[in-house]
Amino acid sequence: MFVDISPFDTPVAPARLQRANGALCLAFGRRGDITALKTLYQEGSAKARLPRAFWQPPEVVLINTAGGLAGGDSFSTEITLDAEAALVATTQACERVYRSIAGPAEVSTRLALGNGARLDWLPQETILFNGGMLRRRLEVDLAGSSEFLAVEAVLFGRTAMGESVRSGSFHDRWRIRREGRLLFADDVRLEGDIADQLVRPAVLGGNRAMATIIFTGLDMDALLDPLRDVLGEGGGASAWGGKLLARIAAPDSLELRSRLIPALSLLMKGRPLPKVWQL
């Protein structure tokens, strides 16, 4: 007996999409008069590189070798600084969040600073493409006399390429503690019709780029007025409760960087920004 089995009648299992995962764990301590690497663990698509430098503090460049984030990807970074250690952390390039068909990409960062330590957390911008979904968490534990500077910037599409973000989701959660007590908590959440939300005056007022800067350390009050001057009408800054916070809104990435770079340079107190930040 001949039985004809058409390939279209054969059950086919759903394709299992490949996902990118990565984990980084770094620790730095003092070795005489310099900050030195103690621990470097890297897994999956997450890599860290320390450019050879003849100045202090050292720089670490974080790299996602997957070339961007898609739904279901998962990355984690942990950096620990011992007492009196100092570090500048940045990323190789802007992180791209592509259209998702499998839920949000997950990115978690945990930073811990000992007494007298200083960390400048300066990742380059995150670009959210139409349909992109990102859930990101930043947890910071500060000792009593540590200093911390951080920036997170987001672009909703690339205006030079004619891109717009009509839908997707973005959730950015910050929790910063000093000596175990909550110093700063922030949640930014955009979901659904993002284009409609961005035009609202209380959100971005039609702008397509935004950034948050936070600094906690010495000379905060003295830095407030100079920082406001640098930000201009497209930004604002306040200092209270042991922290200095700034927000920036801009129409595109170029305008955003033109304000971010002098603002960060001011808060770094004369030390240069990482070379990857140069326009």
Q: Is residue 223 part of a domain?
A: yes
Q: What is the pLDDT of residue 142?
A: 97
Neighbours of 116 (CB within 10 A): 17
Mean pLDDT value of segment 151-165? 83
Q: Of the candidates 89, 227, 208, 90, which has an alpha carbon nearest to the alpha carbon of residue 154?
A: 208
Mean pLDDT of the chain: 90
Q: Is residue 15 part of a domain?
A: no
* Chain segment 159-210, per-residue pLDDT in tens: 767 677 888 999 999 999 999 999 999 999 999 888 888 889 888 888 899 9
Decide if 35 contacts 29 (C-beta within 8 A).
yes
Alpha helix (H) ranges present in 2-137? none
Amino acid type, 13? A
pLDDT category, 56, cuts 50, 70, 90? confident
Indicate the DSSP class of residue 260. H
* Chain segment 216-232, per-residue pLDDT in tens: 988 888 999 999 999 98
Q: Is residue 2 part of a domain?
A: no
Q: Is residue 181 part of a domain?
A: yes
Amino acid type, 23? A
**H or E element at residue 208:** none
Q: Is residue 246 part of a domain?
A: yes
Q: Characterize the bridge pairing of strands 133-142 and 118-122.
A: unpaired
Based on the structure, what is the number of domains in the chain? Answer: 1
Q: Is residue 12 part of a domain?
A: no
Neighbours of 240 (CB within 10 A): 9
Q: Is residue 263 part of a domain?
A: yes
Q: What is the pTM of this model?
A: 0.90
Q: Is residue 76 part of a domain?
A: yes
Show the beta-strand stretches assigned E in the chain: 21-31, 34-44, 46-49, 59-64, 74-81, 86-91, 95-97, 105-113, 118-122, 126-128, 133-142, 147-156, 167-178, 181-193, 209-216, 235-240, 243-250
Decide if 224 contacts 263 (C-beta within 8 A).
no
Using the structure block, give the residue that is written with the tokens 């006399």: 145
Q: Which two tokens stand for residue 30?
A: 């003092």
Size of the chain in residues: 279
Interaxial angle between packed helices 253-267 and 220-231, expressed in degrees from 0 to 180 and rounded to the nearest 10: 160
- Domain holding 188, by residue range, is 20-272
pLDDT category, 137, cuts 50, 70, 90? very high
